[in-house]
Amino acid sequence: MVTITRTIISGILAVIVLGATAAAPALADGHEIKFRKSVMKAVGGAMGGLAAVLKGKAPAKTAVPLAETMSQIAKVVPHVFPEGSDFGETTAIAAIWDKPAEFKMAVDAFTTAAAAMPAAAATGGDAFGAAFGTLGKSCKGCHENFREKKDK
């Protein structure tokens, strides 16, 4: 009985282990891209929230927490572009890795603009609007140069 149980257990283990081995290449093909898209969606979500506040369509008291969310998620962005993650379901283009200096400038422009958001949101008014404008330009600057054009 014990032997039979052991046999069954090792059979189950074999399925789990072999199953995991078989699935590994597929995951390796896409996990960096999935991570990047999740992070970018969070960036987009925080941006949408900030835009709503600026338009007067969301409570003003949400401005600072949204700005803090943006400044925090911005710290993740430099880590979502590992070498070789331009294959698969992605609109990231090879220029990211072919032009590292230019790409770093685009990342830095964004992280600097995002880091300035909490103080600007706390000040409110024109300072908030101006900081949001600078931040928006940094998104555009990177998307225009390092992301496939939408009409492609």
**Nearest Cα to 63, choosing from 111, 113, 123, 112?**
123
Distance CA 96, CA 74 (A): 17
- Residue 12: CB minimum distance to ligand HEC, A: 37
- Residue 59: CB minimum distance to ligand HEC, A: 21
Would you tell me which residues interact with ligand HEC (CB under 6 A)?
33, 36-37, 40-41, 43-44, 47, 90-92, 106-107, 110, 135, 138-139, 142-143, 146-147
Closer residue to ligand HEC in complex, CB, 11/133 = 133
- Residue 18: CB minimum distance to ligand HEC, A: 31
Distance CA 27, CA 65 (A): 34
- Residue 70: CB minimum distance to ligand HEC, A: 7
Closer residue to ligand HEC in complex, CB, 6/79 = 79
Distance CA 19, CA 25 (A): 11
Closer residue to ligand HEC in complex, CB, 41/75 = 41
Q: Tell me whether residue 24 is exposed, middle or buried, using C-beta atoms within 10 angstroms of its C-beta: 0 to 12, 13 to 18, 19 or more.
A: exposed
